[in-house]
Amino acid sequence: MKNPRRITLTPEMVSKHNLSTQPPPPDSLFWTMWNACTEIAQQALQTPFVQGIKAGNLDPVRYGAFNVSDAWYCFHGAKDYRTAAERAENPVLKYFLSEKHKSYEKYNETFPQTWRVRNGASIVPYDVTRDYAGFESSVASQEDPVYSVIAMLPCEYLWAWLGAELSPPAAGNLYAPWITGNNDPHGPYAMGNFLAEYQATNPGKLDTQKAVQIYTRAMTFEKENFAAATS
């Protein structure tokens, strides 16, 4: 099962928006931000939740609770990406933010059948999940819309990286679909290449230091969200 919050790119979308799904250039902002957070990524990899996925022995109750808490996050987060998309003027930027909003909405529609949860009203999320949603909301409503793409990239790429690090799953691993479903970096690569082009055509519009700070905070929230699942 792939990260249900992740944008799904189709060949038609890639062609329409002239996107590249190849790895961004080595000196791009994409890798500058990732390289600043490799220690956090390793910490996420070593959380009991992710290691339990790898070993196939993660308590299913913990896995379920993680997904229900994530439901609260997505019920509250969908509107934030719609807000950011409405504020965006660049067509490709608007596309990414709109697709993120759609991915949340589509995921939210699965909860009544999958987890028997209709909305977020009765869910008690992890504290870090609540804080993560608040951070995402503040970026979407207060910062230039391009920083919402920065804030979403850790979610998009960390899970793909984790899938690659855990691959191939052992035979019979109950969580093999989680591992194989996440092992696909093409979406975040397309975002990274867009950011490189955006910087080239909008000099001074995107502050690298600010981008790294926002990315690092979002990456930290992702790691702490995994950690909270088994604490």
For residue 205, what is the DSSP state?
A: S
Is residue 159, in this structure, part of any structural domain at all?
yes
Confidence bin at 4 (pLDDT 50/70/90) = low
Give the lowest-confidence range in 53-57, 96-100, 154-158, 168-172.
96-100
What is the rounded CA–CA span in Å between residue 111 and residue 33? 33
Q: Which carries the bigger pLDDT value, residue 35 or residue 78?
A: 35
**The domain that contains 221 carries what CATH number?**
1.20.910.10
**Number of domains the chain is built from:** 1
Is residue 17, in this structure, part of any structural domain at all?
no
Quick one: pLDDT at residue 222?
96
19 within 8 A of 13, measured Cβ to Cβ: yes
Is residue 187, in this structure, part of any structural domain at all?
yes
Domain that holds residue 102: 25-228
Task: Report residue 184: phi and psi, to 5°.
Answer: -155, 105
Q: Is this model's pTM higher than 0.75 or not?
A: yes
Quick one: pLDDT at residue 213?
98
**Residue-wise pLDDT tens digits, 185-208:** 998 999 999 999 999 999 999 999
